Structure 1
Amino acid sequence: MDERSGHRLISARGLAAMLAVLSAVALAGCDTVPGGELAAVDVAQGSSQNISSLSAVVQRNPNDPEAYNVRGSAYGRGGRYREALQDFNKAIELRPNFYQAYSNRALIQRFLGDQSAALSDYNRAIQLNPNYDAAYIGRGNLYRKAGQTQQAFNDFQKAIQLDTTDPRAYHNRGLIYQSQGQHAFAIEDFSTAISLAPDSPEPYNGRGLSYLAMNDDTNAFADFNTSIKLDGRIAESWANQALVYEKRGERQKAAKSYAEAVRIDPNYAPARDGLARVRAG
């Protein structure tokens, strides 16, 4: 085997295997959203203390649809989806053309597993306000998770054409470009998402995978390290870092990073498979 900088280089056969692994990881990454769709706002808004304050507002203003919409959003961020659904239902009952509440309810319907109801609510929100970017992004995610890639792309594209400042539109369009092997376009979108949400680790992971696919290991490694620095609790970040180590032939470092990914998420298959691969030699 050749030697470079004291590290054993991966063989041609190993490189081919690595590229296959990279494709699998990139596709797995297509199911991620920056920070989760309800985490775009401070998660403290879903705390019991904040919900108690919002409930007091609702009690003082029982006919205010805005109050129910805000509390419903807080319930959603706190994972209390049934209570969120009830509040969005009440907001829409009080204001039938409340497009933001329809879009918010659609997201809760998604989390509750009722994709048909979610799609209906997103469609209604867009019908009421054809310029509401959040509804296009939400519907785009619904389409993407259902494997309807072109419809998803069209919705993210529409949100971007509306000059959205929501990083999810760029991040998710980047994921679609990435899944199609259009890595230059993907990198551009991930970079825009990063500029809009510099503290979010997911776009760094996405951009790093596209850099890696283009054999730009240096920038890929920097992005994965940045993702870990921003949030060291994401298994994908550690597994991606391990991919670079493995590609370089640094098996011990790769094993350590894969092991950390498995510790964080024992069910993350790319990390489990990678760890087994490097330990097998």
Structure 2
Amino acid sequence: MQAATSSFSDRSSPRRAGSILASLAGALILAGCQSTGMGGAEGDIDPATGSEANISSLSAVVAQNSNDASSYNVRGTAFGRSGRYEEALADFTQAIKLNPNFYQAYANRALVERRLKQNSQALADYNQAIAINPSYAEAYVGRGNLYRSQGQIDLALADFTRAIELSPTDPKAYQNRGLIYQGQNRQDDAIQDFNSAIANAPTSTEPYLSRGLSYLVTGDYKAALDDFNIVVRRDKDSYEGWTDQGLALEKLGERDKAFAAFAHAAAINPNYTPARDGMRRTAAK
């Protein structure tokens, strides 16, 4: 990835504000999804990127190119990926000082500001990135995530749609727009967007997890199970994937297998209420 030409991370993840739960009557309720970008919740944190060796190497480049905005942007990217947000913020700010038209650095700084809960500053930086380059899809994805986190769904939907128009193969925009459709109970539209996300990021688990949830809501339990099986095969520590697999198995009448899936999820995350509730529902009488 070249930090001089793209933001360091704004990928989507199907973290829930609520959960896909089986009610006492056994009906599935979509309580909603919240996401910040594909691949990790407000994520893409990679401690190795922020190792002393890597940061020292990048710092040497900065020292040798102290007037080069790109070198600060690259190091800021490394700081951001490793969760060292204050240092990332300082580097992106310096990059912008050296090159006031560096729209990628504005978008990168906006993402850091989002993670620091500085939402008004983040919005201003996304707006500036778009003002400089109205065709920069990453900034629309980032701003759309910010709008969605603030409940401004129509604005978020418009930004994700614009990002798709500008970059039709970007899975992040499809995933995020799909989550909005899912929250609006527009499940067919959501599934179509998750299909596009999968086509453009076939190794990512998030679109499969999200699409499986929409299949659950529409009653296509076998398709849902197929998606959740992919999730847990690729990420054996996904307690959400195991829980959702349990839900699909429960709806298919496979109570013993469902209990095993819920128990596996609870073993990974003992505090995950949907997994514990699933165990209670499917325990042997």
TM-score (norm 2): 0.85
Out of 217, 220, 236, which is 1:216 matched to?
220
Give the Å deviation of 1:30.
Answer: 3.0
**8 Å CA contact 1:153, 1:176 repeated in 2:** yes
- The answer on 1:252 being equivalent to 2:261 is no
* 1:39 maps to amino acid: D
Alignment gaps of 5+ in structure 1: 1-12
* 2:169 maps to amino acid: T
How much identity, in percent, do the aligned residues show? 55
* 1:165 maps to amino acid: T
**Bigger CA drift: 256-265 or 94-103?**
256-265
Change beyond 3 A, Cα 1:115–1:14: closer
Out of 51, 58, 66, which is 2:55 matched to?
51
**8 Å CA contact 1:15, 1:247 repeated in 2:** no
Distance in 1 between residues matched to 2:215 and 2:43, nearest whole Å? 28
Out of 175, 184, 187, which is 1:171 matched to?
175
Out of 236, 261, 267, which is 1:263 matched to?
267
Aligned residues: 263
Distance in 1 between residues matched to 2:153 and 2:284, nearest whole Å? 37
The aligned counterpart of 2:94 is 90
SS in 1 for 2:111: helix
Give the Å deviation of 1:109.
Answer: 0.5
The aligned counterpart of 2:134 is 130
SS in 1 for 2:26: helix
**8 Å CA contact 2:178, 2:190 repeated in 1:** yes
1:225-260 deviation per Cα after TM superposition (whole angstroms, max 9, x unaligned):
111112122221111101111112322322221222
* 1:148 maps to amino acid: Q
1:18-73 deviation per Cα after TM superposition (whole angstroms, max 9, x unaligned):
312xx13xx1x333632126539x87544443222211111111111100101101
The aligned counterpart of 1:39 is 44
More helix by share: 1
Give the Å deviation of 1:14.
Answer: 6.9
**Bigger CA drift: 100-109 or 206-215?**
206-215
Q: How does 1:148-163 map to 2 (within 5 A)?
A: 148-163=152-167
Alignment gaps of 5+ in structure 2: 1-21
Out of 255, 259, 277, which is 1:273 matched to?
277
Change beyond 3 A, Cα 1:164–1:88: farther
1:133-162 deviation per Cα after TM superposition (whole angstroms, max 9, x unaligned):
000000111111111111111100000011
